[in-house]
Amino acid sequence: MKNFKRITIIGLGLIGGSMALALKKSDYNCEVIGYDVSEKTVQHAKGIGAIDVIAKNLQESVEKAELIILATPVGYYEEMLQQVGHLLSNDVIVTDVGSVKGYVAKVAEKYLPEGVQFIGGHPMAGSEKGGIEAATPFLYENAYYFLTPRKQIAEDILKKLQRFVEALGAYPVVVSVEEHDQIVAQISHIPHLTAVLLANMVDRKNGISYIPFVGGGFRDTTRIAAGNPQMWREIFLLNKEEVLDGIGTLETMLGEFKEILQKENQEEILENLQKAKMIRNSIPHTVRDYIPPLYELSIDVEDRPGVLGELTQLMGSNTINIKEIEILHAREGEKGAIRIGLDSEVQQKKALHLLQVYGFAVAYREGGNSDHVNNKQSTETRG
């Protein structure tokens, strides 16, 4: 099957930039045209080899393109398609990367000529960082990539787009628009909302400051609340009906649990906990998340001036980049007084070995934010 030979990516932030880099890393032979409202962004993309050609304007970007990818925030789609829809030939394919598909399908139907083929797309990948500077060719590896074609899309066109998705390193999953929005509401939008509410709850209860006492469980549960607030506002509004439906289900379940707790129904409480544990343990750990996990180390240090500086200097001088650092106060059953978060298992193992050599007692989590904790302690004297 032939590849798309001329691909236009409109929007060269994290998602669009990573897509361009992934194409260049793969064996997918094509010319990539890039357009972004930021001149600095397109110049950076060209400089790192993500794109072959810089389009001067939106109209120029779509000329002679075989595949056009909308990689801007969803809120800009209507304005863009209104500007270029009438310029598109019937043999071009248009897709996008937005996380809500019902709204996008309506916009595409309104502004694209009848002969232009539109297939919605949504890669389940991302990062807490944004912009072309954060782009990486590995963003889509092992990620699910939803495709939401209309019923009249030809099979060969869909297969051609699936081949494109596979070239990024992702797994194409074909579903309807309605199925997609229901799925992401349940597995992404409602969990994100729940994390937001849990994080905000610690600021509302009884005037007590809870933040100094939170541990790994609270961090893991609320981790996704660190996502881009503007993006998530847009997602909630554009997928409002499905999110409201999920909120209704959540309200019902909270009410049911509240009732069995009030009645002290031990059997039903245990049944809820066991079912949740079984479901949680069945979730595969191989798929990339929106916000990548941190690989943690908890380090027992002396309570004296300068020890934190010594620790960070030791990491920095050995090219270990600390992504997150936290001073731990009371940790029941653990000796760790400082927690550091690293961005890969390789960095975690390197830091673990280094800290052991220098005599630190270290506890660590395998696999990045996993439930299993190994305690590794060294008896060597610090050098």
pLDDT at 359: 83
With CA atoms as reference, report the closest residue to 52 among 20, 27, 10: 20
pLDDT at 288: 59
**146 with 204: CB under 8 angstroms?**
no
| CATH architecture classification, 181-255 | Orthogonal Bundle (1.10)
Half-sphere exposure in the Cβ direction for 364 (13 Å, CA): 26
Question: What angle in degrees, to the nearest 10, is found between the helix axes of 190-201 and 229-238?
Answer: 130
**369 with 289: CB under 8 angstroms?**
no
Q: How far is C-alpha 84 from the chain's CA centre?
A: 30
Over its length of 383 residues, how does the chain's per-residue pLDDT go in tens digits?
A: 688 999 999 999 999 999 999 999 998 999 999 999 999 999 999 999 999 999 999 999 999 899 999 999 999 999 999 999 999 988 899 999 999 999 999 999 999 998 899 999 999 987 767 899 989 999 998 889 999 998 778 889 999 999 999 999 999 999 999 999 999 999 999 999 999 999 888 877 666 677 777 777 888 888 888 888 988 999 999 999 999 999 999 999 999 999 999 999 999 999 999 999 999 888 766 555 555 667 888 888 777 778 788 888 899 999 998 877 877 644 444 444 688 888 788 999 999 999 888 888 887 655 554 333 344 433 222 23
Whether this model's pTM surpasses 0.95: no
pLDDT at 379: 28
**Cα–Cα distance for residue pair 23/164, rounded to 1 Å:** 9
Q: What residues does each domain of the chain span?
A: 6-175, 181-255, 295-376
With CA atoms as reference, report the closest residue to 350 among 316, 303, 318: 318
pLDDT at 383: 33
Burial class (CB in 10 A: 0-12, 13-18, 19+), 81: buried
Superfamily name and number for 6-175: NAD(P)-binding Rossmann-like Domain (3.40.50.720)
Both tokens of residue 356?
A: 């052991």
Residue with tokens 């400051």: 209
Length of the chain counted residue by residue: 383
State phi, psi for 15 to the nearest 5 degrees: -70, -55
At the topology level, CATH places domain 295-376 in VC0802-like (3.30.2130)
**Cα–Cα distance for residue pair 61/319, rounded to 1 Å:** 41
Query: Containing H/E element for 325?
Result: strand 324-327
Half-sphere exposure in the Cβ direction for 148 (13 Å, CA): 26
pLDDT at 259: 97
pLDDT at 299: 86
